[in-house]
Amino acid sequence: MPEHPRIAAIDLGSNSFHLLIAKATSRGYRIIARHRQKVRLADGLNSDLTLNDAAIDRGVECLANFAKLLNDYQPLQIRCVATATLRKACNRQTILKRFEHALGTPIDIISGTTEAGLIYQGATAELASQRSAMLVLDIGGASTEVIAGIGTEPHVLKSLDMGCVVWQNQFFKDGQITEARFAAAIDQANQLIAPLASTYQTHGWDTVCGASGTFRALQDCLRHAQAETMSAAFIDRCQARAIELGSVEKLHQMGLRDDRIAVFCGGLAILSALQKSLAIATVDLAQGALREGLVHTMLAERKRSLA
């Protein structure tokens, strides 16, 4: 067995599929490559909770590409996990067979709690202070994870049934952006968050970090606006600016990349609800997420097996 093997972590999210290739080192790991593809799996989830053929085909195409990359990198260990959309899909077993055939490796459909734990681990693994109280937010395509902990240890882990793809389709599907639509989207998100608010506020936090595409999109907006912090006021200004622009096709004027525009309002509405319900002052961009959490888990398992 190589002393410093390559490992691969694959995250089949409801919006994007991610592949991370890393090499184990004496101090942890070094990232060799990252690959991401917008699959928008949650777009294909019908009202009867079957995933349609178009979404499945997009997933198969992406995983066939990932299989070629895995063949090039030749990792010693691979772990692939699927999240909210496959948790929900009633035809998940059929989908799994096709996805596993395309990828050439087993896929685990993980619970919301497991997903939240991996996200927290990935987001906090490089913390300078191991006793810092943290709140980690991850707005996925079909679920949102909210995790409070101390240092690298999560204490409160929740996976909420809302996500940027689902909210975009429900409130902004035709591409029109209005104050009333944002208000409805925020209100529905708040109904899921509000019953948990006191639990998180009792735990408390020193720092809040965001570990998903919504926060990277806001980072783009920050740079465009030449602002410094992802504050509550800045989140409100982004919402007001989106309403002023009035349509999704104009959101590039906020500095957003093309691949972030399609579900931006859905994610922003959820973040606005989180910010208001939990009284969040500022949010930092997390340095890791679920796939980094997978890498840390694999390295820990390898270390125990060698002990």
Tell me the two tokens of residue 185.
Answer: 């989207």
Asked if 10 and 78 count as a contact pair (C-beta separation under 8 A), the reply is yes
> Do 92 and 60 lie in a common domain?
yes
User: Does residue 266 lie in a domain region?
Assistant: yes
Judgement on whether residues 273 and 143 belong to the same structural domain of the protein: yes
Q: What is the pTM of this model?
A: 0.94
Q: What is the pLDDT of residues 124-183, one digit of tens each?
A: 987 756 788 999 999 999 999 999 999 999 999 999 999 999 999 999 999 999 999 999
Does pLDDT of 1 surpass 60?
Answer: no
Strand locations in the chain (E): 6-12, 16-25, 28-38, 77-82, 108-109, 133-139, 144-150, 153-160, 207-210, 230-231, 282-285
Percent of the chain clearing pLDDT 70 (strictly above): 98
Residues 107 and 133 in one domain: no
The CATH number assigned to the domain holding 31 equals 3.30.420.40
Identify the band that residue 303 occupies on the pLDDT scale cut at 50, 70 and 90.
confident
Q: Would you place residue 43 in the very low, low, confident or very high pLDDT band (cuts 50, 70, 90)? A: very high
138 and 268 belong to one structural domain: yes
User: How far is the C-alpha of 213 from the C-alpha of 121, rounded, in Å?
Assistant: 18
Residue 241 and residue 147 share a domain: yes
CATH number, residue 173: 3.30.420.150
- Across the range 48-77, mean pLDDT stands at 97
Q: Is residue 99 domain-shared with residue 135, that is, in the same domain?
A: no
- Among 84, 112, 140, the domain-final residue is 112
For residue range 172-193, list pLDDT tens digits in order: 999 999 999 999 999 999 999 9
Residue 292 lies in a domain: no
Which pLDDT does position 20 carry in this prediction? Answer: 97
**Whether the predicted pLDDT of 123 surpasses 60:** yes
Mean pLDDT in the chain?
94
Number of domains in the chain: 2
Domain stop point among 78, 112, 146: 112
Residue 30 lies in a domain: yes
Let me know whether 133 and 238 are in one domain.
yes
Domain contains 305? no
Are both 11 and 133 inside the same structural domain? no
Write down the pLDDT at residue 129: 62
Residue 261 sits in which domain range? 129-285
Same-domain status, 82 and 149: no
* Residue 13: other Cβ atoms inside 10 A: 31
Residues 261 and 168 in one domain: yes
| Angle, alpha carbons 232-235-236 (nearest 5°) | 90
Does position 18 have pLDDT exceeding 60, yes or no?
yes
152 and 199 in one domain?
Answer: yes
Taking 70 as the threshold, does the pLDDT of residue 120 lie above it? yes
Residue 180 counted as domain residue? yes
Q: What pLDDT, in 10s, does the model give residues 247-261?
A: 999 999 999 999 899
**Assigned domain for 120 exists:** no
Give the pLDDT confidence of 73-103 residue by residue, as tens digits. 999 999 999 999 999 999 999 999 999 999 9
- Work out the percent of the chain whose per-residue pLDDT is above 90: 90
Say if residue 212 is in the same domain as residue 69.
no
